[in-house]
Structure 1
């Protein structure tokens, strides 16, 4: 369970970093750029702890699915970026794939 807490914290830091990436304006704004780099470094640091008990493929699948969903929501609410139906359907398939891995794969360590 501890490994999944590290993974969740890593995902949240990655979400913060990715959210600030747009605000860096190609790394020309110092404060958003600093926040981006600190959040991403912290994210990978926390991910390294999660990988002590979660296979890297499983951790990355969870990381990717959660990141895609959360960043899409931030894009919608913060940046007013709308996704069309095929994009939403594709994201749903990614999430369904991660759920299948976590429920049925013997590769996942619970």
Structure 2
């Protein structure tokens, strides 16, 4: 259950972050409410994940790493933002780091 809540938190945070980009510096005011609600909902879901027992180091690491990777990839296709080989390598390193933290967190 906590992984589902965390995955939802990640999805909502990615939506809110992409909304920031779509808002064009909040010049498109229609994005203000979705972005604000998205971030509030994402933090609430992260809080719920922690309340369900996931260690903060794992929850926050997965939340931020997945968010960074998904935003970079989706922004490439939605907005034409750059996604270079070096950036893809960096995303791979982020994923490797989160997996290392996750696997280390299993052992007590």
Provide TM-score, normalisation by structure 1. Answer: 0.87
Q: Aligned runs of 1:2-17 on 2, under 5 Å?
A: 2-17=1-16
Give the match's secondary structure for 2:83: coil
Structure with bigger helix share is: 2
Q: How has the CA–CA distance of structure 1 residues 107 and 29 changed in structure 2, closer, same or farther, with 3 Å as cutoff?
A: farther
Q: 1:23 Cα deviation (Å)?
A: 1.7
Q: Which moved more, 1:12-21 or 1:60-69?
A: 60-69
Q: 1:72 Cα deviation (Å)?
A: 1.1
Count of aligned residue pairs for this structure pair: 107
The equivalent of 1:85 in structure 2 is 85
Q: Aligned runs of 1:51-90 on 2, under 5 Å?
A: 51-52=50-51, 53-90=53-90
The equivalent of 1:35 in structure 2 is 34
Q: 1:27 Cα deviation (Å)?
A: 2.1
Question: Per-residue CA shift, 1:1-41, capped at 9, x if unaligned?
Answer: x1111111111100110010012222232211111011111
Question: Per-residue CA shift, 1:36-67, capped at 9, x if unaligned?
Answer: 01111111111110012111111111011111
Give the match's secondary structure for 1:12: helix
Q: Structure 1: which 5+ runs fail to align? A: none
Does the aligned pair in 1 maintain the 2:58–2:105 contact within 8 Å?
no
Q: 1:107 Cα deviation (Å)?
A: 6.5
